[in-house]
Chains A and B, each alone.
Chain A
Amino acid sequence: MSKLLKSRLARIVGVIVLAVALIVAPLVSSPFVNYQLSTVAVFAVAILGLNIIMGYTGQVSLGQSAFLGLGAYIAAYGLAEGWSIALILLLCAAIPALVGMLVALAAARLRGLALAMITIALPIIGVPLARRFSDFTGGSQGATVSWLQAPEWSGLANDQWRYYTVVIIAVIAFVLGRNLVRGRIGRAFAIVKGNESVALSMGVSPYRYKVLAFTIASLFGGVAGFMYLAIVQYTSPETLNFFTSINLVAAMVIGGSASILGTIIGAFYYVLVPLFAGSVNSSQTALISGAVLLAVLFLLPEGIVSLPRRIRQLRPSGRTTPGAPGPAADDRATGDPQTSDDAPADGGGTVRTTASPGNTK
């Protein structure tokens, strides 16, 4: 009982530390760092959507960049028409979700490579379409906007204001996503991933839940597109490029699939590793990023989020019992020590470990 209390206390402390870090970070950093942190938030939401469809529901989706681009274009169009920002955000969530649902209604009957084929076709079709309908999208030139200037009363610079905007949206998205995957729907997703026949026998329609997962993934993709436009202030057909989708999938797998904490780590990976590789040698960015990707996947096949568990496995003294006074930092890293020891393999364990995301900071 006291252990439960302690872990809850650790969780609350972790959330507070995280919140303070998120609030203070932009005030003490340079505009460049703020820009990168905001980008992390943008792609964290996109990867969260991807994780819901791929990690939690087990369906292949290589089309996330199409929804990201769609959201960005809707926001750019809405701004050009002078709509209110709340309306734009709503449309950025609703229209990609609708498109995703329509695609999924047809595609959710398929599985494996056929599903991969259909989803990979979305960005491939999207790029020439975005070029063609230049009235709506600005063609190959893309659409440049200038918005989300910091208002006078806030006393913030533009980059700080935009940071707060996207981080608030990202935090809301993550709270919603976390509740979703830990609730009834999340359990249904897990059983659909595990075995569709079992799901059916338990009264869970795999088809319906796949469509739902795909819709939610597209919704988060569209919202990420809105945030992308808020930060970058520019979108072009290249935003939809399917290499972005593949990189997002790679980042998700590296962070840790079916894990909220892994999603955040994946977003940091997505943004920071190319940056790091560029600073090592700017002409070999792709090469170094690829080497890092391979190294991570060889050493940690379950993603970076499994690092604490992996270290515990390798340590000669073996497992620490749940009650044993392990190092405090280690306990906090895995959130609830009981779950991380009991269920290392299934998704449920990793979900629980996200209870205190504070330790990523």
Chain B
Amino acid sequence: MVGWGLASVLGAIGAVLVAPQLFISPGMLDFVLVYALASAILGGLDSPAGAVVAAAFIGVIENVAGTYVDVIGNDLKIVVPFVAVILILIVRPQGLFGRKVVVRV
């Protein structure tokens, strides 16, 4: 319960911070859902710092690749972070900074 509340608070703060830079519309943050999920999982679900690092990584790699690699260009730039996330998850299933969870049977 508290977790849901905190998640909503943090989401709202994020929206308040980004709203002055964008137009507000009901669907404006639809895609943030996916990016947020990607960065949380990439960073490791039990590591808040990891989420920050991963979010920066995703944002930077997407735009750097989109700008400097001609083949990718503006339309394919969204592919880059997701392919990177897939490759990293295959090597490290628990995310970059996550701890390995061992379940007792």
Contact = CB atoms under 8 A, between A and B. Distances in A.
Contact of A129 (B42, B79, B90, B94): B79
Does more than half of chain B's interface fall in helix, strand or loop, or is it mixed? helix
B70 interface: no
B65 interface: no
Interface stretch (B8-16, B17-25, B81-89): B81-89
Contact of B34 (A106, A120, A128, A195): A120
A33 B25 CA distance: 35
A116 B82 CA distance: 12
Contacts of A120: 34, 37
Contacts, number: 54
Given A124-B82, A129-B79, A132-B75, A110 B93 contact: yes
A113 B86 contact: no
A195 B105 CA distance: 9
A116 B34 CA distance: 11
A121 interface: yes
B8 to A, nearest CB: 17
B86 A121 contact: yes
B74 to A, nearest CB: 10
Given A128-B75, A129-B76, A197-B105, A118 B34 contact: no
B95 interface: yes
Interface string A95-112: 000000000001101100
Nearest to A106: B90
Contacts of A125: 78-79, 82-83
Nearest to A118: B86
B76 A109 contact: no
Nearest to A131: B75
A220 B34 CA distance: 25
B38 interface: yes
A189 interface: no
B45 interface: yes
Interface of A: 106-107, 109-110, 113-114, 116-118, 120-121, 124-125, 128-129, 131-132, 195, 197, 242
Given A110-B89, A125-B79, A129-B76, 10 more contacts: A107-B86, A114-B41, A116-B37, A117-B37, A117-B85, A118-B89, A121-B83, A125-B78, A125-B83, A128-B78
14 contacts: A106-B86, A110-B90, A113-B45, A117-B42, A120-B34, A121-B83, A121-B86, A124-B78, A125-B79, A125-B82, A128-B75, A128-B78, A129-B76, A197-B105
